[in-house]
Amino acid sequence: MVNYSQPQPDLDRVFATLADPTRRAILAQLAQVESLSVSALAEPFAIKLPAVMKHLDVLGAAGLITRNKRGRTVDVRLSARPLRGASEWLRDYERFWSPALDRLVAHAERKEAELRAVKRRRKPR
Amino acid sequence: MNTLTLVRRIKARPSIVFDALTTAEGIAAWWGPDDLPVVGAEVDARVGGAYRVRFRSLDGREHEANGVFLELVAPRRIVMSYRYSLGGEDEERGRTSRIEFELAPFAGGTDLTFTHVDLANEASVRSHARGWGGALDKLVEHWADPGDAAHTNTEN
């Protein structure tokens, strides 16, 4: 059941942030390790460091990553909690609509079979 | 903006699927999260017309969904606003979303694409009130920037 009484702060922002493929790729990289420096993180991407920094700012604002300055490097870590909120929203709605649509399919297919049976009976021999 | 998309391939012609989505009898046959009979459905299937569905969940609680038909193109497309209330009490509080049904014919049936878009949920209403609205708008501009899109070739 979709629980509407629970507030889900920042969820719009999380979805908006995930809409960008580069940001999803950054998160996928971070999911595999404890933490990465900004330059290590930027390495596989065909974009310049300032562009990566811009993406990290967006990810940080959505609460999806945390950044810690350590000496001259900045460590980036995945922060999974907002992602869980986003997937819960989808899961709750999917749990509501998916069985309903399955019943819709069964209902429409039954109606189709009935219609065909009626047409067969009406067909002159 | 949160969006859920589900697809189903149905072995029934689009007109039958369309009827199942736009008549009280049709909606009563499938609506709701659990395999329980719908309590009641009222449907005024025209643009601007309202619908109302009451149903029960397995925990015994009664719920109501209601809204208005925003688009109706038989037998291809239906867009409805969607509000939801628990226990028969209206808990709108700005929570209106939109559901869309797209019906594409194929030989012997219909490909149905269902989309639920959460337009103005509580969280976004509150966040706008707190002044996040501007930040979100900037984010939208940010992806709309074609220069930025050219860099997003890293998806595999």
CB contact under 8 A, B32 and A97: no
As a whole number, the mean pLDDT across chain B is 75
Specify the pLDDT at position B86.
55
Beta strands A65-70 and A73-78 are antiparallel
Q: For residue B117, what is the enclosing H or E element?
A: strand B109-120
Q: Which residue of B has its CA nearest to A94?
A: B4
Residue ranges of domains in chain A, CATH in brackets = 11-81 (1.10.10.10)
pLDDT at A7 over 80: no
Q: For residue A89, what is the enclosing H or E element?
A: helix A81-122
User: Could you tell me the pLDDT band of residue B149, with boundaries at 50, 70 and 90?
Assistant: very low
| Residue that is written with structure tokens 């509080």 in the block | B93
- The amino acid occupying position B40 is G
- The C-alpha atoms of residue B34 and residue A47 are separated, in whole angstroms, by 48
CB contact under 8 A, B151 and A51: yes
- The C-alpha atoms of residue B84 and residue B1 are separated, in whole angstroms, by 18
Starting at the edge strand found earlier in the chain, the sheet holding A65-70 runs: A36-37, A73-78, A65-70
User: Could you tell me the pLDDT band of residue A47, with boundaries at 50, 70 and 90?
Assistant: confident
User: Could you tell me the pLDDT band of residue B132, with boundaries at 50, 70 and 90?
Assistant: very low
Q: Between residues A87 and B12, which one has the greater pLDDT?
A: B12
pTM: 0.61
The full set of domain ranges for chain B reads: 2-119
Q: Are the C-beta atoms of residues B101 and B21 closer than 8 Å to each other? A: yes
Q: Which of residues 26-55 of A touch B (CB under 8 A)?
A: 44-47, 51, 54
Ramachandran sector of residue A37 (left: φ over 0; alpha: ψ -120 to 50; beta: rest): beta
Specify the pLDDT at position B119.
57
| Residue that is written with structure tokens 């309590």 in the block | B39
Please tell me the least confidently modeled range out of A18-27, B48-57, B145-154: B145-154
Specify the pLDDT at position A15.
82
User: Could you tell me the pLDDT band of residue A111, with boundaries at 50, 70 and 90?
Assistant: very high
- The C-alpha atoms of residue B60 and residue B31 are separated, in whole angstroms, by 16
Q: Between residues B143 and A22, which one has the greater pLDDT?
A: A22
Specify the pLDDT at position B1.
56
Q: Which of residues 76-105 of A touch B (CB under 8 A)?
A: 86, 89-90, 93-105
Say if residue A14 is exposed, middle or buried (CB neighbours under 10 Å; 0-12, 13-18, 19+).
buried
For B6-62, the pLDDT digits (tens) are: 999 999 999 999 999 999 999 999 998 888 889 999 999 999 999 999 988 888 888
Q: Report residue B129: phi and psi, to 5°.
A: -60, -30
CA-angle at B82, arms to B78 and B87, nearest 5° = 140
Q: B9, B13, B16, B53: best mutation site toward chain A, by most A Cβ within 10 Å?
A: B16
Residues of chain B positioned with their CB less than 8 A from the CB of A9: 123, 126-127
pLDDT at A125 over 80: no
A69 interfaces chain B, CB cutoff of 8 Å: no
pLDDT at A120 over 70: yes
pLDDT at A1 over 70: no
Q: Which residues fall within 8 angstroms of residue B142, CB to CB, at 6 or more apart?
A: A54, A58, B148
The strand pairing partners of B101, in sequence order, are: B78, B114
Question: What separation in angstroms does the CA of B143 have from each of A27, A90, A98, B89, B138?
Answer: 17, 22, 31, 39, 9
Specify the pLDDT at position B67.
92
pLDDT at A118 over 70: yes
CA-angle at A61, arms to A60 and A65, nearest 5° = 20
Specify the pLDDT at position A49.
87
CB contact under 8 A, B8 and A89: no
Specify the pLDDT at position A4.
40
Structure tokens, A50: 């300032």
The superfamily in CATH containing domain B2-119 is START domain (3.30.530.20)
Specify the pLDDT at position B131.
32
CB contact under 8 A, B154 and A21: yes
